[in-house]
């Protein structure tokens, strides 16, 4: 099932601010050589989020700008990669997504082209190259299940009440983070996510990054939404992939 661009949400904020570092979150300030330093002298920030005892999510950002890399590790020191690692280009858009198991390449590697569509998929099994395939359907922008039959699509997944309710939820819930206000950051964030076969939201990742606190706000609001009506295909409910664009704008 293809990802679909639902609509753009425009969030315009005057002086409202909301920001608090979570208990599970640690932010490290790094200088131009990626060495720890005082925040006032930092060029990059490295954000570590503890999902649970064996899953830590790391995000490397330009201090006042977009994502450079995200990765998932088993340990709090970030030494054993386990899960998904994403790399972003100089404009903050996803460039590639890699899958690891206990530090070894395992699963699909996705590579996006300059138009934002997936250009190539490379598969590994336990560190060994298996196959490589190229995406001939240039509209596909998010990873697809390997067993998906595009021609069998019957009903797309939907937020309860449809697009109008989803738009209302986003407009009501999204807030402008204090950090972004102080940096006077505004622009576009795109979030990709899965609506699973039971309607739950999972695998939320940044597709187009803008700045740490704005990316975080966009992902949190989608994470906290209620269950969707899942997609329906070939007589059963299936997972589907979405991209949601959100524009953050400061009032003049």
Residue 153's pLDDT is 53
- What percentage of the chain carries pLDDT values higher than 70? 84
User: pLDDT tens across 40-69, in order?
Assistant: 999 999 999 999 999 999 999 999 999 999
CA distance 202 to 212: 20
Q: Is 128's pLDDT higher than 80?
A: yes
Residue 156's pLDDT is 87
Question: Where are the extended beta strands (E) located within 135-186?
Answer: 153-155
What average pLDDT does the segment 174-198 reach?
A: 94
Residue 116's pLDDT is 86
pTM of the model: 0.87
- The bridge status of strand 94-101 relative to strand 55-62 is unpaired
179 SS3 class: helix
Is-contact 18 176, C-beta < 8 A?
yes
Is-contact 212 179, C-beta < 8 A?
yes
Residue 138's pLDDT is 61
> Phi/psi at 83 (nearest 5 deg)?
125, -140
Question: Where are the extended beta strands (E) located within the chain?
Answer: 4-5, 9-13, 25-30, 44-52, 55-62, 67-73, 83-88, 94-101, 104-105, 107-112, 118-125, 128-134, 153-155, 187-195, 201-208, 231-233, 236-238, 240-250
Residue 200's pLDDT is 95
């Amino acid at each position: 099932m293809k990802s679909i661009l639902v609509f753009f949400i425009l969030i315009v904020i005057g002086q409202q601010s909301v920001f608090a570092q979570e208990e599970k979150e640690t932010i490290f300030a790094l200088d131009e050589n990626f060495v720890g330093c005082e925040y006032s002298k930092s060029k990059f920030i490295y954000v570590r989020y503890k999902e649970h005892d064996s899953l830590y999510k790391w995000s490397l950002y330009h201090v006042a700008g977009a994502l450079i890399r995200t990765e998932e590790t088993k340990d709090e020191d970030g030494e054993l990669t386990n899960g998904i690692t994403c790399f972003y280009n100089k404009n903050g858009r996803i460039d590639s997504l890699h899958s690891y198991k206990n530090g070894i390449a395992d699963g699909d590697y996705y590579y996006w082209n300059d138009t934002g569509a997936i250009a190539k998929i490379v598969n590994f099994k336990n560190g060994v190259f298996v196959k490589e395939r190229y995406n001939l359907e240039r509209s596909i922008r998010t990873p697809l299940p390997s067993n998906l039959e595009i021609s069998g699509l019957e009903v797309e997944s939907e937020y309860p009440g449809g697009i109008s309710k989803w738009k209302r939820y986003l407009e009501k819930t999204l807030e402008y983070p204090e950090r972004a206000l102080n940096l006077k950051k505004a622009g576009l964030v795109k979030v990709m996510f899965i609506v699973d076969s039971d309607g739950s939201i999972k695998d939320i990742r940044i597709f187009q990054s803008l700045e740490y606190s704005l990316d975080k706000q966009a992902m949190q609001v989608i994470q906290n939404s209620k269950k969707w009506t899942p997609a329906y295909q070939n007589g059963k409910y299936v997972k589907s992939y979405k991209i949601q664009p959100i524009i953050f704008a400061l009032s003049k």
